[in-house]
Structure 1
Amino acid sequence: MTVARAAALGALLLVVAVVAIVLLGGGGGQQYRLIFQTAGQLVRGNDVQIGGRRIGNVDEIELTDDNLAAVTITVDEPYAPLHEGTTAEIRLASLSSVANRYISLSPGPNNAPELSDGATLGVEDTTTVVDLDQLFNTLDERTRRGLQEVFKGGATQYAGKEREVSEAAKYFSPALSATTRLVREMSRDDRILEDAIVSTARVLASVSERRTELTQMVGSLNAMFGAIADQNENFSQALAEAPGTLKEANTTFRDVRAALDDLDPLVAASKPATVDLDRFFREFRPLVDAAVPTFEDLSAFVNTPGPGNDATDLVRMQPRLQQVGSPSFRNSVRAMRMGQPVVDFLRPYTPELVGWLQSTGQAAANYDANGHYVRALPIFGAFRYVQGADGSQTLQPVSPDQRFAGQRGDALRRCPGSGSQARPDGSNPWDAPGGDCDPSDLPPGP
């Protein structure tokens, strides 16, 4: 056997050994047990990802003794073993199906101790996915009702146009994909994007510089074709005007030709995005036509001519209204809070107050804290009779400081209803909140 044949045989054996190791040795990996509050509709076979890259899968989902979800996962090499500090979170790739759930791992630092095969991450290191129903439950009743009205309005708008909307939606995703490819292609090389922007700027600049000529050309063409359409005998006049029009158009077309040359890179880069765009717009037109009344009404609501009669003016007035109203509301709230004790004190004596106002102070109410009926009516006169030595009586004024002599107002502190027998339902006497009466101050007798 020659040296060359021996070397070839050795190389062949080495290749066979490498293939056997790759095919029979397996990819390795380690299993870990993750404890979640809830499995969030995970299923066996769901992905385990790090940074959006699949590095394993879900093996088993079990229920622990304390009603938690125990999820067993396999992490492939070279991402295993994991390190302490690793956290796990259940995420949604989309809302289309439960199979779009996956577990996202945030690995711990490499200098941290390694997690052994079969290690467990507790609920303090895991995060459960938030379902859409949980999100809706956080909204208050008014917000949920408004969201329902939005969906109802959308249903009303597209009622009877389901087929058109479905056909248009088929081409919406390809259009977005084509636009994404265009942007990605243009962004891949900064020079292409720069050339496209420069070319567009040149085209617009050239058109802007020749706007006068373009206007004159369009006007001349309009006059020419109008004359041809109106009367055949004016055709000679149109032909007479044609040389001037063509002369003006010649200069414009020459400049436009240069602009179109600069536009060629942009057009070439845009072709992949325009393949399905024509059919998309044809299918999308019925939806746009149906939406025109909606946008017309919205325009009238936002910007109706005239001052102070549309949503724009209302929004403009809000800052001033807030500046004026905030101090007023703040002071009103403070005044009501300070007046609450006064209201609480006066509320039990409402019958007395109303009776006094109705009779202008001539009689008190027929029911108050002193008894079922008032038995005395105080009169504070400004004069008194004085008997003279001859037996005659004269009317003499009483000084103001003597008019209330002998009167007391603190003898009793009975509560409303305490002058009558207590009712079986316990409605009297009534010790009102904030009052100053004494429920134990009761008249004698049964």
Structure 2
Amino acid sequence: MPSSAVFNNLRPWVVGGAVAVVAVVGIKTVSGEDPYQLDVVTPAADGLVTGSEVRIGGQDIGQVKEIKVEGNQARLVLELDPDSAPLHAGTTVNVRWNSVVGRRYVDVLPGPQSNPELPEGKLLKADTERVELDDIVKALDEPTRAKVKKLVGHLDTTLNRNDTDINATLAEAGPFVEGLGEILEGVGKDGDAISALVTNLHQVTQALSSRDADVAGTVRDLRALVAVAVRQAGQVRTALDEVPATLRSAEKFFGKVPGAVDETVPLLEDLQPAIAHLPSVAKRLDPVLRDLRPVVAELRPTLNAADELLQQTPGLLSIATQTVPDLETALTQLQPAVSFLRPYTPEIVGFLTNWASLFSAKNGAGHFGRALIPASVSSFNSNPGILPPFMFQAKEPEPGSLIEQPWTDANGDGVR
């Protein structure tokens, strides 16, 4: 069988497989409530299906809504996004290859904006990129043609009566081919990064190779660490048993955090006006702080003297520590005498007051004393103890009664 005849027989299978792949991976929904439609006639629509992309400058702007046959040509109904409409006179349309697996798309080259607008439903003519298999075969030499002929024969035998399986395979292969295309596209975009990654990995491998002894020592240390961990498994288990209680406590703590935050937020909001006034307050305090600088400078001698005083303080505290016990003992011994003399405080104060009054007089020669000697019937030593009328004797006078300030509760009832 001639090679051209073999390829002509195989062409429907290839086209059918391409159509199946494109039908699975090429459908795209076009948004817009009122799409803009154009009709395009093209010599052939191989590789195009309903839903194939329509692009302007590589950007998807619509899809092929319908494919019809008119004579020996194909008529395409293009549905474009409203944002890309309307097109203008001079617009050209081409059907181009999108990938090597037979997928195609419609490429639109808009006309100048200054040209008249194309009404919806306008019929345009498109060109199709076509590559015939016969042209490819003619480019091969004779030995290659023989091998291709043999390969095609085996392929024909393989594909015979397997239409259903092949169609199912092509339908399932669509997402895979699309994903593979995206992966390869990503690899192409990240080629420099992948190259750098491989280079760095090679450098890391070389570094590890030069440090094989260190790596071996690390592995040995890790093995020893694991052995220690195994021996401490009981303690680790105990620690893990305590983890739930710790987590519960943490949960309670963090459960209170939102409430505290909720209470803090109003406080911060209330403080916001005061904080807003802080810059102005700081500006007002700036002159005051500048005026304080001389005062702070004069405090330096005082601080130096305080430093010397504090250096002497430990010795003073040591002496005071030795003196305090003796002082406490002396005060303890003086307490009975003080308790006895305390009720007679008015008499003592009165005596001192009278004494100062007696010698407060002064003349040209200096101070002189004035004595007041009271005399009565009871002043004579020969008085047998008989008191005159209107006189009485207090055998137990109350403290302070001599100056008419008697202390009636001086015998232990407490001072009031």
Same-fold call, TM > 0.5?
no
Structure with the higher fraction of residues in helix conformation: 2
Greater relative contact order (Cα < 8 A, sep 6+): 2
Superposition TM-score, scaled by structure 1 size: 0.29
